[in-house]
Amino acid sequence: MARLATIGPGGRPHLVPLCFALDHDTLVSAVDDKPKSTPALRRLDHVRSHPEVSLLVDHYDDDWSRLWWVRLDGTARVVEHGAEHDDAIALLRAKYEQYRVAPPTRAALVVDVRRWSGWSSMP
């Protein structure tokens, strides 16, 4: 699980959890069929108007010697059809059993990662 940060109207940050898959320096996610008030998600509108995003994946443990985080910064785009959409869905299906059973049919989010950063308390 990760948290995606986008920039909304007026420069306000918007943060949402999401499932993702990686292929080298490309991260993908999709709008799946879990219940939502609308498939027209704010994160997609934000990416269309301001494509710079950050994504944070972290691990918390009561044993603080096991803490870590990774942040990806990049440029995102919304892909609704075509080969790039199909490739994104294939990556997600390979990672998540739930997507093999019910593949997402809506928009995919594709992020070209330009910077990786992270920290770990483990040596």
Cα of first residue to Cα of last residue in the chain, in angstroms, is 24
pLDDT score for 39: 62
pLDDT score for 69: 97
Per the structure, the count of domains in the chain is: 1
Position 114 confidence tier, pLDDT thresholds 50, 70, 90 = very high
pLDDT score for 41: 80
DSSP state, 11? G
Amino acid at 51: P
Q: Is the pLDDT of residue 25 over 70?
A: yes
Angle at 50 between CA 45 and CA 51, to 5 degrees: 95
Q: Is the pLDDT of residue 68 over 90?
A: yes
Q: How far, in Å, CA of 77 to CA of 44, rounded? A: 8
Question: Taking residues 68-79, what's their average pLDDT?
Answer: 97
- What CATH number does residue 72 fall under? 2.30.110.10
pLDDT per residue as tens digits for the range 46-56: 999 999 999 99
Question: Taking residues 2-6, what's their average pLDDT?
Answer: 96
The closest of 2, 35, 10, 12 to 109, measured between CA atoms, is: 2
7 three-class SS: strand
pTM of the model: 0.90
- Spatial contact of 18 and 4, defined as CB atoms under 8 Å apart: yes
Please name the helix (run of DSSP H) or strand (run of DSSP E) that holds residue 95, with its range, or none. helix 82-95
Question: Taking residues 85-91, what's their average pLDDT?
Answer: 97
For the chain, give the number of residues.
123
The mean pLDDT of the chain is: 92
Q: How far, in Å, CA of 23 to CA of 99, rounded? A: 17
* Residue numbers of the domain that contains 7: 2-120
